[in-house]
Amino acid sequence: MISKVVTAVFRALVFAAAAVLGSHEFVEAGSEHSWLQDPNTHCRFVAPASLTAGPTFWTGTCTDGKASGSGMLRRRDGNRAGAAFFGQMKDGIPQIGVVDLGDGYRAGTFDQDDIGGRAESEPQVRIDAFRAAIEATRFVSAKYKVENNPGSAQLYETLAKTFEAQLD
Protein backbone atom coordinates (compact mmCIF):
# COMPACT_ATOMS: atom_id res chain seq x y z
CA MET A 1 0.00 0.00 0.00
CA ILE A 2 2.73 2.48 0.96
CA SER A 3 4.70 1.67 -2.20
CA LYS A 4 1.61 2.43 -4.34
CA VAL A 5 1.21 5.79 -2.61
CA VAL A 6 4.93 6.59 -3.05
CA THR A 7 4.74 5.59 -6.73
CA ALA A 8 1.64 7.74 -7.27
CA VAL A 9 3.25 10.74 -5.55
CA PHE A 10 6.45 10.27 -7.58
CA ARG A 11 4.50 10.17 -10.86
CA ALA A 12 2.57 13.28 -9.87
CA LEU A 13 5.81 15.12 -9.06
CA VAL A 14 7.38 14.11 -12.40
CA PHE A 15 4.27 15.26 -14.27
CA ALA A 16 4.21 18.57 -12.36
CA ALA A 17 7.91 19.16 -13.03
CA ALA A 18 7.41 18.52 -16.76
CA ALA A 19 4.52 20.99 -16.82
CA VAL A 20 6.59 23.66 -15.05
CA LEU A 21 9.69 23.16 -17.18
CA GLY A 22 7.80 23.40 -20.45
CA SER A 23 9.57 21.09 -22.88
CA HIS A 24 8.80 17.45 -22.33
CA GLU A 25 11.78 15.13 -22.60
CA PHE A 26 11.37 11.55 -23.73
CA VAL A 27 13.29 8.82 -25.48
CA GLU A 28 11.91 7.88 -28.86
CA ALA A 29 11.91 4.17 -29.71
CA GLY A 30 14.95 3.19 -31.78
CA SER A 31 16.78 6.46 -31.06
CA GLU A 32 19.88 7.13 -29.02
CA HIS A 33 18.86 10.79 -28.55
CA SER A 34 16.77 12.46 -25.87
CA TRP A 35 13.84 14.13 -27.55
CA LEU A 36 12.07 17.30 -26.46
CA GLN A 37 8.66 18.63 -27.36
CA ASP A 38 7.74 22.26 -27.91
CA PRO A 39 5.19 23.02 -25.19
CA ASN A 40 3.07 25.13 -27.56
CA THR A 41 3.15 23.31 -30.89
CA HIS A 42 4.00 19.81 -29.58
CA CYS A 43 6.59 19.55 -32.35
CA ARG A 44 9.36 17.09 -31.35
CA PHE A 45 13.11 17.62 -31.73
CA VAL A 46 16.55 16.85 -30.38
CA ALA A 47 18.24 19.95 -28.97
CA PRO A 48 22.02 20.37 -29.18
CA ALA A 49 23.61 19.74 -25.76
CA SER A 50 25.13 23.24 -25.70
CA LEU A 51 21.62 24.74 -25.37
CA THR A 52 21.59 23.17 -21.88
CA ALA A 53 18.44 22.03 -20.09
CA GLY A 54 15.32 24.11 -19.95
CA PRO A 55 12.10 24.80 -21.83
CA THR A 56 12.94 24.85 -25.53
CA PHE A 57 10.75 26.12 -28.36
CA TRP A 58 10.89 25.44 -32.12
CA THR A 59 10.20 28.22 -34.63
CA GLY A 60 9.91 26.59 -38.01
CA THR A 61 8.09 23.88 -39.93
CA CYS A 62 6.82 20.80 -38.14
CA THR A 63 6.45 17.84 -40.51
CA ASP A 64 4.90 14.63 -39.19
CA GLY A 65 5.27 15.99 -35.66
CA LYS A 66 9.02 16.70 -35.98
CA ALA A 67 10.99 19.90 -36.55
CA SER A 68 12.06 20.17 -40.19
CA GLY A 69 13.85 22.63 -42.45
CA SER A 70 15.23 26.02 -41.48
CA GLY A 71 14.40 27.44 -38.11
CA MET A 72 15.33 28.20 -34.53
CA LEU A 73 15.42 26.20 -31.32
CA ARG A 74 15.27 28.72 -28.49
CA ARG A 75 15.72 27.84 -24.82
CA ARG A 76 13.85 30.09 -22.42
CA ASP A 77 14.63 30.86 -18.81
CA GLY A 78 11.36 32.24 -17.51
CA ASN A 79 10.77 35.43 -19.49
CA ARG A 80 14.40 35.58 -20.68
CA ALA A 81 15.59 34.17 -23.96
CA GLY A 82 18.40 31.68 -23.49
CA ALA A 83 20.81 30.10 -25.94
CA ALA A 84 19.51 29.32 -29.44
CA PHE A 85 20.28 27.04 -32.37
CA PHE A 86 19.78 28.48 -35.85
CA GLY A 87 20.01 26.10 -38.76
CA GLN A 88 18.65 23.06 -40.55
CA MET A 89 16.62 20.26 -38.99
CA LYS A 90 15.65 16.94 -40.56
CA ASP A 91 13.13 14.60 -38.92
CA GLY A 92 13.62 16.49 -35.64
CA ILE A 93 17.43 16.18 -35.62
CA PRO A 94 19.74 19.18 -36.11
CA GLN A 95 21.83 18.84 -39.26
CA ILE A 96 23.98 21.95 -39.51
CA GLY A 97 23.94 25.43 -38.06
CA VAL A 98 25.08 27.69 -35.25
CA VAL A 99 24.37 27.73 -31.53
CA ASP A 100 24.38 31.31 -30.24
CA LEU A 101 25.55 31.01 -26.64
CA GLY A 102 25.33 34.73 -25.95
CA ASP A 103 29.10 35.01 -25.47
CA GLY A 104 30.18 33.09 -28.56
CA TYR A 105 29.15 30.57 -31.18
CA ARG A 106 29.37 26.84 -31.83
CA ALA A 107 29.16 26.22 -35.57
CA GLY A 108 29.15 23.03 -37.59
CA THR A 109 27.28 19.79 -38.03
CA PHE A 110 25.42 17.79 -35.39
CA ASP A 111 27.65 15.08 -33.94
CA GLN A 112 27.62 13.33 -30.55
CA ASP A 113 24.56 15.32 -29.40
CA ASP A 114 25.99 18.78 -30.11
CA ILE A 115 26.81 21.25 -32.86
CA GLY A 116 30.33 22.05 -33.91
CA GLY A 117 32.44 19.45 -32.16
CA ARG A 118 35.07 18.04 -34.48
CA ALA A 119 33.76 19.93 -37.51
CA GLU A 120 34.91 23.34 -36.21
CA SER A 121 38.39 22.74 -37.61
CA GLU A 122 37.03 22.31 -41.16
CA PRO A 123 36.62 25.83 -42.60
CA GLN A 124 34.03 24.88 -45.27
CA VAL A 125 31.78 23.18 -42.70
CA ARG A 126 31.94 26.30 -40.52
CA ILE A 127 31.08 28.50 -43.52
CA ASP A 128 28.17 26.23 -44.45
CA ALA A 129 26.96 26.29 -40.83
CA PHE A 130 26.86 30.10 -40.76
CA ARG A 131 25.07 30.14 -44.14
CA ALA A 132 22.44 27.77 -42.71
CA ALA A 133 22.13 30.03 -39.64
CA ILE A 134 21.68 33.12 -41.85
CA GLU A 135 18.89 31.38 -43.78
CA ALA A 136 17.24 30.31 -40.50
CA THR A 137 17.40 33.76 -38.88
CA ARG A 138 15.91 35.33 -41.99
CA PHE A 139 13.13 32.72 -41.91
CA VAL A 140 12.42 33.56 -38.25
CA SER A 141 12.55 37.30 -39.01
CA ALA A 142 10.03 36.88 -41.85
CA LYS A 143 7.73 34.86 -39.59
CA TYR A 144 7.71 37.63 -36.98
CA LYS A 145 7.13 40.25 -39.68
CA VAL A 146 4.05 38.35 -40.93
CA GLU A 147 2.84 38.10 -37.30
CA ASN A 148 3.11 41.92 -37.08
CA ASN A 149 5.94 41.81 -34.54
CA PRO A 150 8.42 44.31 -36.03
CA GLY A 151 10.70 44.37 -32.98
CA SER A 152 11.42 40.63 -33.13
CA ALA A 153 11.61 40.75 -36.94
CA GLN A 154 14.33 43.42 -36.71
CA LEU A 155 16.17 41.55 -33.95
CA TYR A 156 16.54 38.43 -36.11
CA GLU A 157 17.40 40.40 -39.25
CA THR A 158 20.20 42.10 -37.27
CA LEU A 159 21.36 38.68 -36.05
CA ALA A 160 21.47 37.47 -39.68
CA LYS A 161 23.80 40.39 -40.47
CA THR A 162 25.94 39.48 -37.44
CA PHE A 163 26.21 35.91 -38.77
CA GLU A 164 27.13 37.27 -42.22
CA ALA A 165 29.98 39.23 -40.63
CA GLN A 166 31.39 35.91 -39.35
CA LEU A 167 31.96 34.90 -42.99
CA ASP A 168 34.20 37.90 -43.74
> pLDDT, tens digit, for every residue of 78-120?
888 889 999 999 999 999 999 999 889 999 999 888 998 765 5
pTM score, two decimals?
0.80
pLDDT at 12: 32
* Residue 17 pLDDT class (50, 70, 90 cuts): very low
In this prediction, residues 147-163 reach a mean pLDDT of 96
* Comparison of pLDDT for 59 and 3, the residue scoring more: 59
The residues, any chain, with a CB within 8 Å of residue 84's CB and separated by 6 or more, are 51, 72, 73, 74, 75, 99, 100
Q: Pick from 72, 123, 75: which is nearest to 98 by CA?
A: 72
Q: Pick from 119, 78, 83, 120: which is nearest to 99 by CA?
A: 83
Q: What pLDDT, in 10s, does the model give residues 23-61? A: 444 444 445 668 999 999 999 999 999 998 789 999 999
C-alpha–C-alpha distance, residues 3 and 7, integer Å: 6
